[in-house]
């Protein structure tokens, strides 16, 4: 199972891209547990196994908005580790159900405590019980897996071909940092566009939140506000992301409103047949904004972090009816087999 992580496809957008510009998406839902965080989860566990910080039979604990937890649950199930997840109770119900289905225990923290609250709870549980804390926001295994897999995959997909822009959001910062290292070295002409929620512009503010000696956040970022883009932008700037800031691993920062991300996720589904979540829709919204202003002939690649099925209880699906519409009832009545 774990050998199926990575090698996700790059897919051309056929109907939504503006004339004269080519847009591709890298669909991370093709990972076995359906998100980009499968890469991170596998890297954290196998790195810790190699360096001895994770012992046989030890319990793994981590704070997550969902995708990292689902990836860790898959990896821990395959390798035989117990897993405890801490997660704010504001994140989608299906995420906690998926983690429990994969054998993990999920400890919910109050919405009011935001991401910082779930991180603190994970740290407390690790310290009290001697568990292995995955530390996705601080560990070097995060960006390293994107440097060794995601980045080279992109190089391979566009070998000998034009690539002008690469667009991504950030959660832990691992994707932009790891891929950014690769593109800066091997394809320096590619402009890296990073995005964050319009109502939670942590990077845009220029303010860095406080951290302790272990690089863990000690407070919420003052510019954070709750936003609907689950998986993006916790209420602190992760240490893994700090490298991208310090080493200028992105060229432009473009904020995006949550409703725009929802609208583009719906259009990707209904007009391209590509199922992605709010985070993917938000990245694609930024990619389309870039496409509208890009010179003719430009080629854009956008990251889609996960699948839309992870958002059934969120605003992404709130206007999708369970019962038949009037039009659907009319279709049902239009043939002799009508029963109700």
Q: Is 332 a catalytic residue?
A: no
> Within 13 Å of residue 54, how many CA atoms lie on the same side as its CB?
22
Contact 38/181 with Cβ under 8 angstroms?
A: no
Q: Does 67 show up as a binding residue in the annotation? A: yes
Binding residue per annotation — 279?
Answer: yes
Report whether 174 contacts 143 (CB < 8 A).
Answer: yes
- Which DSSP symbol is given to 317? G
Task: Please indicate if the annotation marks 314 as binding a ligand.
Answer: no
Separation of alpha carbons 298 and 153, rounded Å: 20
State both tokens at 236.
């602190």
Q: Annotation-wise, does 171 bind a ligand?
A: yes
Instruction: Confirm or deny that 52 is annotated as ligand binding.
Output: no
234: left (phi over 0), alpha (psi -120 to 50) or beta: beta
252-256 and 191-197 beta bridge pairing: parallel
List CB contacts of 88: < 8 A, sequence separation 6 or more. 65, 108, 109, 110, 111, 113, 114, 115, 117, 118
- Residue whose structure tokens are 């904004």: 289
Going by C-alpha positions, the residue among 37, 31, 76 that lies closest to residue 57 is 76
Nearest to 309, CA basis, from 48, 10, 14, 34: 34
Options 26, 35, 37, 195, the catalytic residue: 37
Which member of 35, 92, 135, 279 is catalytic?
279
Active-site residue flag, 248: no
Which residues are part of the catalytic machinery? Answer: 37, 279
Please enumerate, by residue number, every residue annotated as part of a binding site for pyridoxal 5'-phosphate.
67, 171-175, 279
């Amino acid at each position: 199972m774990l050998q199926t992580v990575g090698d996700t496809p790059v897919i051309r957008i056929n109907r939504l891209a503006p004339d004269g510009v080519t847009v591709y998406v890298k669909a991370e839902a093709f990972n076995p547990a359906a998100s980009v965080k499968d890469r991170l989860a596998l890297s954290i566990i196998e790195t810790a196994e190699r360096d001895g910080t994770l012992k046989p039979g030890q319990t793994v604990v981590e704070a997550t908005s969902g995708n990292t937890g689902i990836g860790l649950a898959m990896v821990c199930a395959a390798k035989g580790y117990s897993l405890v997840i801490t997660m704010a109770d504001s994140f989608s119900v299906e995420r906690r159900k998926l983690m429990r289905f994969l054998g993990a225990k999920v400890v919910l923290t109050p919405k009011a405590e935001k991401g910082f609250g779930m991180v603190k709870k994970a740290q407390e549980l690790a310290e009290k019980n001697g568990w292995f804390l995955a530390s996705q926001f601080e560990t070097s295994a995060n960006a390293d897996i994107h440097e060794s897999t995601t980045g080279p995959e992109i190089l391979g997909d566009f070998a000998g071909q034009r690539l002008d822009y690469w667009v991504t959001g950030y959660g832990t910062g691992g994707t932009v940092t790891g891929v950014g290292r690769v593109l800066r070295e091997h394809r320096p002409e590619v402009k890296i566009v990073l995005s964050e929620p319009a109502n939670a512009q942590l990077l845009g503010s220029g303010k860095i939140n406080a951290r302790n000696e272990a690089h863990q956040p000690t407070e919420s970022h003052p510019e954070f506000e709750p936003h609907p883009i689950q998986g993006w932008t916790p209420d602190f700037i992760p240490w893994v992301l700090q490298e991208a800031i310090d080493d200028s691993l992105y060229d432009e920062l473009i904020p995006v409103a949550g409703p725009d991300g929802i609208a583009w996720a719906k259009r990707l589904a209904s007009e391209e047949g590509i199922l992605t979540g709010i985070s993917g829709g938000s990245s694609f919204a930024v990619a389309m904004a870039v496409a509208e202003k890009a010179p003719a002939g430009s080629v854009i690649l956008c990251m889609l972090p996960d699948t839309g099925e992870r958002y059934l209880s969120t605003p992404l699906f709130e206007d999708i009816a369970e019962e038949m519409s009037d039009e659907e009832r009319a279709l049902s009545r239009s043939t002799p087999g009508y029963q109700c």
